[in-house]
Structure 1
Amino acid sequence: MTDRLKTLADAGVSIWLDDLSRERLRTGNLEQLVKEKSVVGVTTNPSIFASALGSGDAYDEQLRELAGKGVGVDDAIFTITTDDVREACDVLAPVFSGEPADGRVSIEVDPGMARDADATEAQAQALWAAVDRPNAMIKIPATEEGLPAIAKTIGAGISVNVTLIFSIDRYRAVMDAYLTGLESAKEAGKDLSSIQSVASFFISRVDSEVDKRLDAVGTDEAAALKGKAALANARLAYAAYQEVFSSDRWQALADAGAHVQRPLWASTGVKNPDYPDTLYVTDLVVAGTVNTMPEKTMDAFADHGEVTGDQVTGRAEEAQQVFDALEGVGLDLADVYVVLENEGVDKFDDSWAELTQTVKDQLEKSA
């Protein structure tokens, strides 16, 4: 079954696991996924850490130790999460040494800072220093306020995973922030070849929001468009990526050793049971991209996923036709993106609050 995942990897798609927990690390599960399922990276977010801390006893010993030292909740979260990411970086180190573009583990800034560029940049620096591994990536939300923080963090020589990208316009702004950061790093004399970045373009949430609005329209024409928006959005994003990373501005940076900012397909677990459970993997195969999957999606692809060639390159015109049709039935796509970004930040913020409460309760229990 894992041969299907190897076929995906052989097609040039980097498979990253969208999950991390101390239990995975302690049991050797993560190392097993690297060896047996072609996993070459890990992404985390506040929801993942909230789930990990809220179940099992893998963190009990460290929580007792931190409670005994009188460590506060925020510092405890910082210590616990950076410890996990550091250990995961070490597990992925052999992949990193073989191919620097992969072997990466992402850790996200506090989502409560998503609208504060200075606070985001400061925490990005702190997380990078604490994890202290060259194959770490700091995850920064692509809010409008986050764009300057992305540029400054890249400029400081720190690798960044830009998350919560929904619209093509924002994606273009993210790529501009990346190039601006690289230009600053180059001016400061930093080694551009040591800086990596991915741009996490969210997939399934687009269909969830658009499909809901199409149902509200209620026409046959609207119903025929269900399940098409997310893939069209991603294909238009890829066309924008090709444009930016073939520009003269980019070539000057590439000549100085810079790496492209790879598109990463995020939120690839299918939420609508009417759609194939591998839809956002099979239909987004294109070399040089990352697909970060929950293990459930990874297992589904290993069982019955198919690689039928490049499903993205050269399909921008077709994708634009889908968008034109969506607007034709009355969908306000700009509003869709605003809603999705706000919901994304709020969900991570809620998860951070849950994580904070869980750690607070366990510290008090362990004291």
Structure 2
Amino acid sequence: MNDRLKALADAGVSIWLDDLSRERLETGNLADLVQNRHVVGVTSNPAIFQSALAKGERYDAQVRELAAQGADVDKATLVITTDDVREACKVMRPVFDATDGVDGRVSIEVSPGLAHDTGETVTEAAILHKTVGEPNVMIKIPGTKEGWPAITETLAAGISVNVTLIFGLEQYRNVMEAYVTGLERASDNGHDLSGIHSVASFFVSRVDSEIDKRLEATTGGPGTDPALRGKAGVANARLAFQMYEDFFQGERWAALEAKGARKQRPLWASTGVKNPDYDDTMYVVDLVATDTVNTMPEKTLDAVADHGEVRGDRIRSFYDDAAAHMQALADAGIDYDDVIKALIKEGVDKFVVAWDELQETLAASLEAARA
């Protein structure tokens, strides 16, 4: 067991791997990460599946079988991705059982093209949940305006949800509201609230990428101060955690908690550092707090294991600093609301592109198998 990763886990951070492939499953790599690297969950997304399918030959036999069955590309995509998630769920099941369902989770995302379609998102979430058929699966739903009611509807059906593509504080507040409303409806529908879990995936590094780009485009004035760069992602996440602590209290939450409800934990996503000039562990070690999740690509996991300095809670005593930094950015001409709007659009668009590429790859493979 790695001492640095153990220190992170001991500080209350659940370490999830932001990657999934058949190679990881078949070689035992995922099981090894659970055993030796404190990994207690897995997240996937369209880009991850596209990358997995584009590399190697581990999917070839299944593609040939699906082609022989006459499967179209949509059917093949569903079968292949849910098969990987199901197998990952089995690997993670001991963790799920040991933590009473808090960890040991594997996430699979609805088609990104549905990000602005509430009804179809709800329908696909139910299909994915049923198809995977494992209790520790989480369905990822984008935190778009149209996603909020879909989150509520899916939770009301007793399905655990990972809300993805959260960038802004007001957006996050609406996600938490959708979660609590979903639990209230789930209770009305007779579901055991203790079995419904959720995380809110707050993206970090992309906030710095967008704000740094805007700062670099300024000429003169406060926007040229290099001290403003590379700090917005962490500051924004810290303010999100403050919002989380404020939200999950009071009579409304107490009534749900009395029925067994669990808080929707903040999950720090997009934790791979995009700028090579920055510390490659900063989106992990600077966002340590109890009851959080950090989902990391393996490169970031390795960096933390090698040289990450875990210094205890790095969120709760930094609220004022975070607010001051965001104010300094506003004073430098950074329009926060416009940044968040751009990031949500970019996030959805990138996943749509990855999904389209995944389906194009599969379509070509199916055609070749039928030839």
User: Is the shorter-chain TM-score for this pair beyond 0.5, marking a shared fold?
Assistant: yes
What displacement does 1:3 show? 1.4
Of residues 271, 277, 282 in structure 1, which corresponds to 2:280? 277
Aligned to 2:161: 160
Letter in 1 for 2:281: T
Partner secondary structure for residue 42 of structure 1: strand
Aligned to 1:127: 128
Once residues 224 and 287 of structure 1 are traced to their aligned partners in structure 2, the CA distance between those partners, rounded to angstroms, is 28
The reply on whether 1:295 has 2:267 as its aligned counterpart is: no
Letter in 1 for 2:289: V
Of residues 261, 271, 293 in structure 1, which corresponds to 2:264? 261
Aligned partners of 2:221 and 2:332 also within 8 Å: no
Aligned to 2:237: 234
Aligned to 2:191: 190
- What 5-or-longer segments of structure 2 have no aligned partner? none
Of residues 313, 317, 335 in structure 2, which corresponds to 1:314? 317
Aligned to 1:57: 57
Aligned to 2:77: 77
Structure 2 length as normaliser, TM-score? 0.98
Q: How far does the alpha carbon of each residue in 1:111-159 deviate from its partner, in whole angstroms, 9 at most, with x for none?
A: 0000000000000000000000110000000000110000000010000
Once residues 164 and 250 of structure 2 are traced to their aligned partners in structure 1, the CA distance between those partners, rounded to angstroms, is 24
Once residues 41 and 78 of structure 2 are traced to their aligned partners in structure 1, the CA distance between those partners, rounded to angstroms, is 21
Aligned to 2:351: 348
Once residues 80 and 18 of structure 2 are traced to their aligned partners in structure 1, the CA distance between those partners, rounded to angstroms, is 18
Q: How far does the alpha carbon of each residue in 1:309-360 deviate from its partner, in whole angstroms, 9 at most, with x for none?
A: 1000132222111111111011111000000000000000000000000000
What displacement does 1:89 show? 0.2
Aligned to 1:38: 38
* Deviating more after overlay: 215-224 vs 108-117: 215-224
Once residues 180 and 51 of structure 2 are traced to their aligned partners in structure 1, the CA distance between those partners, rounded to angstroms, is 35
Partner secondary structure for residue 140 of structure 2: strand
What displacement does 1:220 show? 6.8
Once residues 123 and 17 of structure 1 are traced to their aligned partners in structure 2, the CA distance between those partners, rounded to angstroms, is 24
Partner secondary structure for residue 224 of structure 1: helix
What displacement does 1:247 show? 2.3
Letter in 2 for 1:156: A
Letter in 2 for 1:292: T
Listed as ranges, the matches of 1:94-243 within 5 Å are 94-99=94-99, 100-219=101-220, 221-222=222-223, 223-243=226-246
Once residues 338 and 367 of structure 2 are traced to their aligned partners in structure 1, the CA distance between those partners, rounded to angstroms, is 43
Moved over 6 A (4+): none
Partner secondary structure for residue 314 of structure 1: helix
Once residues 319 and 111 of structure 1 are traced to their aligned partners in structure 2, the CA distance between those partners, rounded to angstroms, is 31
What displacement does 1:221 show? 3.3
Once residues 91 and 111 of structure 1 are traced to their aligned partners in structure 2, the CA distance between those partners, rounded to angstroms, is 26
Partner secondary structure for residue 217 of structure 1: coil
Distance 1:220 1:294, change over 3 A: farther
What displacement does 1:239 show? 0.4
Q: How far does the alpha carbon of each residue in 1:8-32 deviate from its partner, in whole angstroms, 9 at most, with x for none?
A: 0011100000000001000000000
- Over the matched positions of the two proteins, sequence identity in percent amounts to 60
Letter in 2 for 1:242: E
Q: How far does the alpha carbon of each residue in 1:171-230 deviate from its partner, in whole angstroms, 9 at most, with x for none?
A: 000000000000000111110001000000000000000001011114473222001111
Aligned to 2:254: 251
Q: How far does the alpha carbon of each residue in 1:61-111 deviate from its partner, in whole angstroms, 9 at most, with x for none?
A: 100000000000001000000000000000000000000100000000000
Once residues 219 and 338 of structure 1 are traced to their aligned partners in structure 2, the CA distance between those partners, rounded to angstroms, is 25
Once residues 156 and 191 of structure 1 are traced to their aligned partners in structure 2, the CA distance between those partners, rounded to angstroms, is 11
Partner secondary structure for residue 171 of structure 1: helix
Partner secondary structure for residue 333 of structure 2: coil
Q: How far does the alpha carbon of each residue in 1:42-78 deviate from its partner, in whole angstroms, 9 at most, with x for none?
A: 0000000000000100000100000000000001000
What displacement does 1:285 show? 0.5
Once residues 368 and 34 of structure 2 are traced to their aligned partners in structure 1, the CA distance between those partners, rounded to angstroms, is 36
Letter in 1 for 2:256: L
Aligned partners of 2:273 and 2:281 also within 8 Å: yes
The reply on whether 1:362 has 2:365 as its aligned counterpart is: yes
Partner secondary structure for residue 19 of structure 1: coil
Q: How far does the alpha carbon of each residue in 1:229-267 deviate from its partner, in whole angstroms, 9 at most, with x for none?
A: 111100100000001112221111011000100000000
Partner secondary structure for residue 326 of structure 2: helix
- What 5-or-longer segments of structure 1 have no aligned partner? none
Once residues 256 and 318 of structure 2 are traced to their aligned partners in structure 1, the CA distance between those partners, rounded to angstroms, is 28
Letter in 2 for 1:7: A
* Deviating more after overlay: 74-83 vs 247-256: 247-256
CA RMSD, 1 decimal: 0.9
Once residues 37 and 11 of structure 1 are traced to their aligned partners in structure 2, the CA distance between those partners, rounded to angstroms, is 15
Once residues 182 and 260 of structure 1 are traced to their aligned partners in structure 2, the CA distance between those partners, rounded to angstroms, is 10
